[in-house]
Structure 1
Amino acid sequence: MVTGTEEKKTGWWSIAAAGAGVIALCYGFARYAYGLFVPRFSETFGLTTTAVGVLGGLSTAGYGLGLLVSPATSRRSARGTVILAGASATIGLALMAAAPGVVVFGAGIVLAGTGAGLVSPGVAQLIGETVGSPVRARAQTWANTGTGLGLAASAFTPLLAFGWPAVWWAFAVIGAGMTVLAWRTLPRTPWSPEIPELAEPTAPEITAATGRRAAPLVVNSVLIGATSAPYWTFSNSRLAEAGLSPVAATWCWATIGVAGLLGGLAGRAAGHTGLRNANLAAWTLAAAGIALLALPRPGLAGALLSSALFGTSYMALTGLCILWATRVFPARPARGVTWSFAGLGAGQTAASPLAGAAGSAIGLAAVFGLTGLAALLAWSQLTPRLAPPSS
């Protein structure tokens, strides 16, 4: 177990940074970069639109598998779970790069998605076990911004002259390096009664009271998924519809990632103003960013502002979900993060096809306007029963 002295020597920032690096690998490269290269994948493997959707579903299936097993693996070894996540994502990327056909390519997608499902619960559990309470919230939210870092790093790769396999091999090499760095940097965390909240590992973890406290967290997470899905899936289509070029859309994608790094400030904000106030502020920014794409002609400036607001608020909201989860499950943060991210995934899975159908019927501009309004439903958290726990 990392003692207070060892923690000061290592520094919470080094744990958060290593966690952020693996999260960047698992989300920015192994999960979200797929959407950037769909046209190239379709050309290489002769994919139909339906086949593209099936492959996307395999990524979600792998993600769900990772979420399902992460509480058990994190309980045994949070550090091991993070390293396993990096290895899974790296092997998945390498399989995709080397795939002679669509079957091997699909297997790589599943492995890559599994890494994304494993990593956030594992990092949350590791930080909960190794970082002191005064800076734990900051460590959690800064580690979570790794998604933004990964998005920014992958944004311009479709514009490179190399074929997509070369890009994917580069992702895999970076992933191998990041996994080795995590293996060398992250502390080992065997269970110890020195940490009060971990002193009773055999105590019941889920009670009726805990379930009631977790329900608002899951509702909040589902709302994040439902309101972010149209943006992740259709923002580029909406920008093209509004007259922006593919290069401009790429800049917007990069802006989402770079601005997402500001989401790391959410932990400090929650410490100063309270978790509920920080959460509602982030939801308001999210509503504004989404609704900007409802304008008939947002222009490049409006599109970049929308991307910045969305990136900042999305990373802040997911980081605050992690803090919320650690308050509901202080002994096993991985379990709470799994519940939260499963809700987020469910919201995204349900909302993407609904947004597509609505876009065909009423237009994408209207979809973004309605989604922005839906984000304001989060203000129902002013009701105590739906609010995050105060401590």
Structure 2
Amino acid sequence: MVTGTEGKTGRWWPTAAVGAGVIALCYGFARYAYGLFVPRFSETFGLTTVAVGVLGGLSTAGYGLGLLGSPRTSAWSARGTVLLAGAAATAGLALMAVAPNVAVFGAGIVIAGGSAGLVSPGVAQLIGETAGRRVRARAQTWANTGTGLGLAASAFTPLLLLGWPAIWAAFAVLGAALTLIAWRTLPRTDPAEVVTGSAHGVLPLVLNSVLIGVTSAPYWTFSSSRLTESGLSPVAATWCWFTIGVAGLLGGSAGRVAERVGLRAANLATWTLAAAGIAVLALPDPGLPGALVSGALFGCTYMALTGLCILWASRVFPTRPARGVTWSFLGLGIGQTAASPLAGATASAIGLAAVFGLTGLVALIAWSQVHPRAAPPEHRGVRRLRR
């Protein structure tokens, strides 16, 4: 059992690595893989476009329920919350695999979506309780890259010559294995002795998260359509999705960068690269090289920005990181929910290329964080720590 500051001086990477694995399961397979298989689901259950949207909404609803419940479960046990997330992902995927009708399939989607809402706050809280102050930022951002790992691992599964129930069953088996590994390896903790502080900076954190949601939703929803529109094949588009996931692993370096240059500078630099990556798809003919560059920039900066949000949340709520991450990711979800239909309506009026150009410009709103009131808090304990 990890207790006190002495318990936080050991190796941080096993907890971060296992946390990343469970995040990969909950996001890459249990939440985001749904979109890759929509044509197959539609064929099996005879879904209309409206029904597809309803099922996607169920996933978002489950995600929201998981987020709302995560602060309470994390206060009870951060380790237990991560294990609950893994079990929910496994159960949801298994239920979808054996679903005899769309109602059971929808129930599985809700359970699987809930796992994603639980896992990030749980992992953030566990790392906050076990990682030393010197390495906590690195541990948080590297664990967060599990989403990219899951995206990369699931990218090519639609090309497999198997029925989707068999693929979903394999996802469930993998989920059971990862949850067992987490049960065997994640540390048990007592409440962590971390620095205290007020939560007066929660509004800028939420606004930053909403901006991430607003600028990422068009990419998640319409980037494949934009690439197809520009002449790329479905296989090329799959490679771009894979690139998003692989490049997302580089987002783990954001914690180290934030330690060196400060959270505000790291956040602003990342936002600038994100705007550039999104805007590449506004080019009349980005081609495969441009698409790959765009995917790499988007994947890396999306994982970095969400990782930096976790650091930001941990500084606003130093003793309860899970609460801060819940606020942040709720803002992210609100931004994505609002932006997807807005981007679709705008695309019908002015085209997808213009949508990506405008989205890139919107991302530059983050430069308002040069003002101290809109900026993330910097770490005030570093100097004391190094004495």
Give the CA deviation at 1:191. Answer: 2.7
Gaps in structure 2 of 5+ consecutive residues: 380-387
Aligned pairs for 1:1-391 (under 5 A) are 1-3=1-3, 7=8, 11-191=11-191, 195-197=193-195, 210=199, 212-391=200-379
| Equivalent-residue separation in structure 1 for 2:319 and 2:211 (angstroms) | 26
Distance change in 2, residues 1:40/1:196 (3 Å): closer
CA distance in 2, matches of 1:302, 1:165: 35
Query: What letter is aligned with 1:299?
Result: G
The root-mean-square deviation of aligned C-alpha atoms, in Å, is: 1.2
Q: Aligned partners of 1:224 and 1:273: how far apart in 2? A: 21
Change (3 A) 1:181 1:357: same
C-alpha separation in 2, matches of 1:166 and 1:274: 47
CA-CA distance at 1:30 after TM superposition:
0.4
Letter of the structure 1 residue corresponding to residue 37 of structure 2:
F
The one-letter amino acid of 1:281's match is: A
- Provide Cα deviations, 1:293-336, integer angstroms capped at 9, x if missing partner: 00010000000000000000000000000000000000100000
Aligned equivalents of 2:221, 2:378: Cα separation in 1: 34
Q: Where in structure 1 are there 5+ consecutive unaligned residues?
A: 199-204
Structure 1 residue 197, shift from structure 2 partner: 3.8
Shift of 1:190: 2.5
Q: State the shift of 1:7 in Å.
A: 4.9
Mapped partners of 2:282, 2:352: distance in 1: 8
Q: Which residue of 2 aligns with 1:201?
A: none
SS of the equivalent of 1:188 reads: coil
Structure 1 ranges of 4+ moved more than 6 A: none
Structure 1 length as normaliser, TM-score?
0.95
Residues 181-231 of structure 1: per-residue CA shift (max 9 Å, x gap): 001110001236xx2448xxxxxx9xxx62x41000000000000000000
Deviations 1:32-77 (A, max 9, x none): 0000000000000000000000000000000000000000000000
**What fraction of aligned residue pairs are identical, expressed as a percent?**
78
Q: Which amino acid aligns with 1:189?
A: T
The aligned amino acid for 1:191 is P
CA positional deviation for 1:2: 1.2
Cα deviation 1:359-386 (Å, max 9, x = unaligned): 1111000000000000000000001110
> Do 2:9 and 2:131's aligned partners in 1 also have CA atoms closer than 8 Å?
no
Q: Which whole-Å CA distance do the structure 2 matches of 1:383 and 1:288 have between them?
A: 22
Q: Give CA-to-partner distance per residue, 1:90-136, whole Å, 9 cap, x none.
A: 10000000000100000000000000000000000000001110000
User: How far apart are the structure 2 equivalents of 1:220 and 1:190?
Assistant: 31
Q: What's the offset of the Cα at 1:390?
A: 1.4
Deviations 1:255-313 (A, max 9, x none): 00000000000000000000000001110111011000000100000000000000000
Counterpart AA for 2:120 = S
Question: 1:8 and 1:133 mapped to 2: Cα distance?
Answer: 9
Output the CA distance in 1 between the equivalents of 2:191 and 2:128: 12
Offset of 1:237 from its aligned partner? 0.3
Match of 2:385 in 1: none
Structure 1 CA distance for aligned equivalents of residues 124 and 63 of structure 2: 17
Aligned mates of 1:239, 1:213 — CA distance in 2: 39
Deviations 1:2-35 (A, max 9, x none): 15665555x2000000000000000000000000
- 1:72–1:243 Cα change, 3 Å: same
Does structure 1 retain, via aligned residues, the 8 Å contact 2:227–2:291? yes
Contact 2:146 2:249 (C-alpha < 8 Å) held by counterparts = yes
Q: Contact 2:96/2:109 (CA < 8 Å) preserved in 1?
A: yes
C-alpha distance in structure 1 between counterparts of 2:218 and 2:89, whole Å: 25
